Amino acid sequence: MNDEKIPVRVTASGQTLEVVVYAKRLDVIQVVLGEGVHSVRCDLTPTRNGMAYVGNAMGREIVYERSREQVKADLARAAGFREFRR
């Protein structure tokens, strides 16, 4: 099984973590922090301006610093489609 990992930043400490993506959609990205019985699932939702995805895990705010448009392009690339423009 090939797990997709994305970097997220913990805003309180500035630390960057690699987390495993559980499900990825344009309106929400579900990630798993940790491994085994101590893993925590977190939902990352887009900010109001759409420039990042944020979520809360165990009282800590985490940020995935990619815009909605970048995530949309990632999803299209993963599905094998390209946006057609004239």
Domain contains 25: yes
Identify the residue with better confidence: 85 or 41: 41
Domain contains 61: yes
Q: Is the pTM of the predicted complex or chain greater than 0.95? A: no
For the stretch 32-67, pLDDT in tens is: 998 899 999 999 999 999 999 999 998 999 999 999
Number of folded domains in the chain?
1
Vertex 36, ends 79 and 47: CA angle to 5°?
50
Report the amino acid identity of residue 30. Q
Residue 78 has pLDDT above 90, yes or no: no
Q: What is the C-alpha separation between 20 and 49, in angstroms, rounded?
A: 25
Domain contains 86: no
Lowest-pLDDT range of 2-11, 24-33, 71-80: 71-80
Length of the chain: 86
Q: What does pLDDT average to over the chain?
A: 90
Q: Which domain holds residue 69?
A: 5-79
The shares of helix, strand and coil residues in the chain, as percent rounded to the nearest 5, are: 15, 45, 40
Residue 83 has pLDDT above 60, yes or no: no
Q: What is the C-alpha separation between 85 and 69, in angstroms, rounded?
A: 15
Q: What is the C-alpha separation between 38 and 82, in angstroms, rounded?
A: 38
Residue 23 has pLDDT above 90, yes or no: yes
Domain contains 85: no
Domain contains 84: no
